[in-house]
Amino acid sequence: MKLSIEKPELLRGLGRIQAIVEKRNSMPILANVLIGADSKAKDAKLTLIATDLEVGVRSEHVAAIEKTGSLTVSAKKFYEIVRELPEETIQLAATANSYLSIICGRSKFTLAGTAAEEYPSFPEFKPEKTVSVSVVALGAMIEQTLYAASADETRYNLNGVYLEQVEDSDRIRMVATDGHRLALVERSLGVDTSSLASGVIIPRKGLAELKRLVDEDDVDEIELAFEGNNGLARKGGVTLVMRLIDGEFPNYQQVIPKEIPHRISLETDVLVRSLRRVVILSTERARAVRLEIEDNKMTLSSKNPDLGDAHEEIDVDYKGDSISIGFNARYLLDALSAMGAKEIELGIRDGLQPVQVTNSTDPECFAVIMPMRIPT
């Protein structure tokens, strides 16, 4: 293998795979990237492949190929080397014993590697049908739901975001929950989404990589496809494959409040700043903050027997019976941050029922947060 490639192109490909490569020692080779040079295609390309056996990415990059071949090297060290090289053309070449020679200007590195045959095969997934989705819409939907997915591996069916077609429409819905909170967003894509009718659970890591892919500012649409336990996203010369979560997502509709007698509108920044101040004196683990609502006033408070207590008042447009409800402030702050709304609406039934937090200008984007009991 021998080729030359521009630094920005190579750096972009190596940067994309850093979160995918496996850093644990169960299979050391999963910390490597598979580098391949192919001159048989219409355009000569360098191919980079990384996988952790659950999520994998393959990207093609324009390069001047002198000799074909392939090998694997440490993805982290290769990236660190390339990042520090001068802004010049980089020459790569395979040497004896699967070493990689890296030359750029007056800099030269030799990086130990392994034979390409030792690297796990990249899953070949060729779906019958793909759906082209706006990268802006998809990126926003991921951001508005991923934060609520569970990180508890014992609840594997909650370790991702549920994606489904809204019945008899061209709309898709994404839902995530960890049992303490729920995030939901619904959007019309203007395309046939029937292939998503049965619903799939996309794992957190796969969705995080998909978010990085859609955030790259180069194209307006990305292709999605799901079949069986596999998911695929394709954008230009980059293909992301992931193993979907094989489980049943809970009936999230049961958590969404059906009747909301009290609706309170608030400027997001005002509520966020107050929460951040009051939570300073809450207990480190629970982050408990109490909201007490009465005529035209909301009082936020926290108490820590070792540190003290905090109180702050906010003016609100509310008339009715007094309501007292407790929250984990982090859950509320996460939801407010993900929505990115200037104004939100708190939908409250009473002090014991889940609270719905809705974007005031976008009712199809909301969160549901379970209350917590706070000793008086």
One domain for residues 224 and 303:
no
11 and 54 inside one domain:
yes
Residues 287 and 348 in one domain: yes
Give me the pLDDT at residue 88, please. 95
Sheet holding 323-328, edge to edge: 308-315, 297-304, 288-294, 323-328
156 within some domain = yes
Same domain, residue pair 320 and 266: yes
Same domain, 113 and 183: no
Helices (H), the chain: 7-17, 75-84, 135-143, 204-215, 268-278, 329-339
Same domain, 182 and 284: no
Whether 375 has a pLDDT exceeding 90, the answer reads no
Give the amino acid at 186. E
Question: 214-247, pLDDT tens digit by residue?
Answer: 998 778 899 998 888 889 999 989 999 999 999 9
Domain holding 71, by residue range, is 2-118
Whether residue 342 is predicted with pLDDT greater than 70 in this model: the reply is yes
CA angle 223, 226, 228 (to 5 degrees): 160
Q: What is the CATH number of the domain that holds 71?
A: 3.10.150.10
- Please indicate, yes or no, if residue 376 is contained in any of the structural domains: no
Please identify, among 118, 153, 172, the residue that sits at the C-terminal boundary of a domain: 118
Question: Residue 44 falls within a domain, yes or no?
Answer: yes
Over residues 257-286, the pLDDT tens digits come to 998 999 999 999 999 999 999 999 988 788
Span 43-95, pLDDT tens digits: 789 999 999 999 999 999 999 999 999 999 999 999 999 999 999 999 999 99
C-alpha span between 45 and 65 (Å, rounded): 7
242 plus 268 within the same structural domain: no
Same-domain check for residues 178 and 77: no
Task: Encode pLDDT of 152-210 as tens digits.
Answer: 988 999 999 999 988 877 789 999 999 999 999 999 877 777 766 678 999 999 999 99
Q: Which residue has the tokens 């336990």?
A: 229
Residue 344, beta-bridge partner list = 266, 359
Output the pLDDT for position 41: 53
Comparing CA positions, the residue from 133, 203, 138, 151 lying closest to residue 334 is: 151
Shared-domain flag, residues 44 and 68: yes
Task: Give domain status of residue 231, yes or no.
Answer: yes
User: Residue written as tokens 């007056």?
Assistant: 106
Is residue 271 helix, strand or coil? helix
Q: What's the average model confidence in pLDDT over 317-343?
A: 93
Longest C-alpha distance within the chain, in Å?
80
Chain-wide mean pLDDT for the chain? 91
* Whole-number pLDDT of residue 197: 65
Q: Which neighbouring-strand residues pair with 71?
A: 35, 115
CA 296 to chain centre: 38
95-137: per-residue pLDDT in tens?
999 999 999 999 999 999 999 999 998 877 777 778 888 899 9
213 and 265 inside one domain: no
DSSP 260: -
For the chain, the domain total comes to: 3
Sheet holding 343-348, edge to edge: 200-203, 160-165, 171-177, 181-188, 362-369, 355-359, 343-348, 262-267
HSE of 146, CA atoms in CB hemisphere, 13 A? 17
Measured CA to CA, the distance from residue 321 to residue 281 in angstroms comes to 28
Q: Does residue 42 carry a pLDDT above 70? A: no
Mean pLDDT of 310-327: 92
98 and 160, same domain (yes or no): no
Among 202, 234, 252, the domain-final residue is 252
Q: Check pLDDT > 70 for residue 287.
A: yes
375 assigned to some structural domain:
no
Binning pLDDT at 50, 70 and 90, where does residue 248 land?
very high
Between residues 191 and 338, the one the model is more confident about: 338
**224 and 325 fall within a common domain:** no
Is residue 36 domain-resident? Answer: yes
Overall average pLDDT of the 13-29 stretch:
87
Among residues 231, 252, 273, the one where a domain terminates is 252
Q: Is 126 inside any structural domain?
A: no
Q: CA 372, 144, 142: angle at the middle one, nearest 5?
A: 130
Percent of the chain whose pLDDT exceeds 90: 73
Residue 123 lies in a domain: no
Q: How confident is the model at residue 25 (pLDDT cuts 50, 70, 90)?
A: low
| pLDDT score of 26 more than 80 | no
pTM summary value: 0.89
